[in-house]
Chain A
Amino acid sequence: GAVVSQHPSWVICKSGTSVKIECRSLDFQATTMFWYRQFPKQSLMLMATSNEGSKATYEQGVEKDKFLINHASLTLSTLTVTSAHPEDSSFYICSAREYGTYGYTFGSGTRLTVV
């Protein structure tokens, strides 16, 4: 079945630094990838939608200059949290959709802690 690899699974960084999270579709081409953020005991909140080769579409209230998304190939999307602050600490999850299907495959998530 479809597999999405997300790295790192957890990261601790200092306030003010940047962190990059990678999301790869291993056995299919993902024309669309989605990035979610999940706070403890809460649901997944969609941050942005990225399509290969074009700029990401951000949801209302999500700062595009802070959460940089690059979808340079059909199998790789990256999320960079720039100038991270403690309030950015959260669980970030990516999802990839295979072209022409409604199948959504999720990565295993990245737990970010900003100290």
Chain B
Amino acid sequence: GIQVEQSPPDLILQEGANSTLRCNFSDSVNNLQWFHQNPWGQLINLFYIPSGTKQNGRLSATTVATERYSLLYISSSQTTDSGVYFCAVIYNQGGKLIFGQGTELSVKP
């Protein structure tokens, strides 16, 4: 099956710093999404981004589908950005979302 790999697995930042999270996938996909899971377990959709670049406030994402990777940029990080960031790809059949292993981000004040 398709493989979704995220890096780094863990990241500690000082408040105000910038960071880049990476997601590689092993096969062509219909699209890709980025999620944030807060410490209470709630998953929030950040971006639906099959290709190109999108921005939402301090967050932006870029997917290069032909090279099978996506990047999530977090600028001027805040403590509320802490949590786990997942990328997930949609498998063609049935629209199943397959998740990467996540990047656990901790932003220190």
Contact between B43 and A46 (Cβ–Cβ < 8 Å)? Answer: no
Contact between B42 and A109 (Cβ–Cβ < 8 Å)? Answer: yes
List the B side residues contacting A108 at CB < 8 Å.
40-42
- The 8 Å CB contact of B94, one of A32, A45, A95, A109, is A32
Total contacting residues, chain B, CB less than 8 A: 22
CB-nearest residue of chain B relative to A60?
Answer: B1
Q: Is residue A12 contacting chain B, with contact meaning CB distance below 8 A? A: no
Contact between A102 and B41 (Cβ–Cβ < 8 Å)? Answer: no
Total contacting residues, chain A, CB less than 8 A: 23
Which residues of A from 1 to 43 have beta carbons under 8 Å from B?
32, 34, 38, 41-43
List the A side residues contacting B33 at CB < 8 Å.
102, 104
Contact between A46 and B90 (Cβ–Cβ < 8 Å)? Answer: no
List the A side residues contacting B90 at CB < 8 Å.
102
CB-nearest residue of chain B relative to A38?
Answer: B41
List the A side residues contacting B94 at CB < 8 Å.
32, 49, 57
Minimum C-beta distance from A19 to chain B (A): 17
Contact between A43 and B100 (Cβ–Cβ < 8 Å)? Answer: yes
Q: Is residue A115 contacting chain B, with contact meaning CB distance below 8 A? A: no
Which residues of B from 73 to 109 have beta carbons under 8 Å from A?
86, 90, 94-102, 104
List the B side residues contacting A44 at CB < 8 Å.
43, 86, 99
Q: Which residues of B contact A (CB under 8 A)?
A: 30-31, 33, 35, 40-43, 45, 48, 86, 90, 94-102, 104
Q: Which residues of A contact B (CB under 8 A)?
A: 32, 34, 38, 41-46, 49, 57, 91, 93, 95, 97, 102-106, 108-109, 111
**CB pairs A–B below 8 angstroms (18 shown):** A32-B94, A34-B96, A38-B41, A41-B104, A43-B101, A49-B96, A95-B43, A97-B95, A102-B33, A102-B95, A103-B45, A104-B45, A106-B35, A106-B42, A108-B40, A108-B42, A109-B41, A111-B41
State the 10 A-B residue pairs at the shortest beta-carbon distance, nearest first: A106-B43, A109-B41, A44-B99, A43-B99, A43-B101, A108-B42, A43-B102, A49-B94, A104-B97, A91-B41
